[in-house]
Amino acid sequence: MKVIVVTGASSGIGLAMTQYFCQKGHHVYGISRTKMYEKNVRSIQADVTDYKQLKQAYEDIYEVEGKIDVLINNAGMGISGSVEDTSYEDAAYLMNVNFMGVFNSTKAMIPLLRKSGGGKILNMSSVAARLGIPFQAFYSSSKAAINAFSEALNIELHPFKIQVCSIMPGDIKTGFTKNRKKNEVDSVFYKKRVDKSVSVMEEDERNGMDPEYAAKVVLKLIERKRIPLYKTIGFKYKIFVLLHKFLPAKLANNVVGMIYGFKKEK
C-alpha cells in the first residue's frame, strides 16, 4: 500500500487515477479546488497556485499517514488561440497554474518525501512539450518547462532517493476539451486557421485514449523500483516523439504545421 497525492484530481485523468489507485488498495489523496465526493478518495481542497495551502495540506497528510510515497503533479489547463491575440492575463494565469503550480506542489512536498525515506514525483507533461503546437503555444511552453524542471529536479533529489519522471500523454478523452479556454477575440489574420486547428485538436481528443488506460500506465510506474526520466503514453505518440528526436528540427516543425497550422489558409 502506498500513500499517493494527486493534484487536479476532481476531473479528467486526475480523477481516473485517483479512482483506479483506490481500487488497487492504495491510500489516495485528491487535491482540487472543489470538494470531491469519490468513494475511498480522501479529498482536500487546495489551489496549486497557493503554496501555503498546499504545504498545510501535505503536512496534514503526512501527520495522518506517517509517510508519503508519491506525488503526481497533474493540475493544468489550456488556452487556444494565436500568440498575438492572447491576453497577458490569460497567458500569465496558465503559466501560474501549469508551471508554478508544479513548483509550489513540489517545493511543499520535498521535505516530506525526504522524511519518508524517498519516493517519486511524477509530473504530468504532454507530447505537446516536444512538438510545439500552433495556437496552443502557451500550453506547449508550460509543458516544455515542466520537462526541463523535471530533469534538473531529478539530479537535485537523487541523494534523497526521490525519483522524478515527466509523463507525456497523447490525446485523452477527458473534460479538458470542453474546459479549454479560448481567446475572447481571434483577429481576422488568424480566425479561420485557429478554428480549423482547434477543431482538429478537439476531434483528436474526443477520439483519444481512455483516461483509465493512462491511469494504468502511471500505476505501473509507481510500482516500479526505478522509473525513467520520461514516459510517453500511447503507441502512436511514442512514434511522434521518436521521429521528432531524429528528424531535422525544421522538418519536424513543418510536419506539425501541416497537421495543425493550415499555413496556406488566407
CB 221 within 8 A of CB 122: yes
Catalytic residue among 143, 166, 197, 260: 143
- Single out the residue of 54, 20, 232, 35 nearest to residue 127, CA to CA: 232
236 to each of 6, 166, 173, 252, how far by Cα in Å?
Answer: 26, 18, 16, 15
Catalytic residue among 139, 190, 213, 237: 139
Has 143 been annotated as catalytic?
yes
Catalytic residue among 10, 126, 142, 197: 10
d(CA 214, CA 38): 19
Per DSSP, the residues of 158-201 read GGGTEEEEEEEE--B-STHHHH-EE-S---TTTHHHHHHHHHHH
- Single out the residue of 185, 204, 206 nearest to residue 194, CA to CA: 185
60 to each of 66, 125, 205, how far by Cα in Å?
Answer: 10, 27, 36
Calculate the CA dihedral of residues 61, 63, 65, 67 and round it to 10 degrees. Answer: 90
Catalytic residue among 32, 80, 105, 125: 125
Has 32 been annotated as catalytic?
no
d(CA 76, CA 60): 23
d(CA 75, CA 14): 8
Q: What is the DSSP letter of 36?
A: -
Which active-site residues does the annotation give? 10, 125, 139, 143
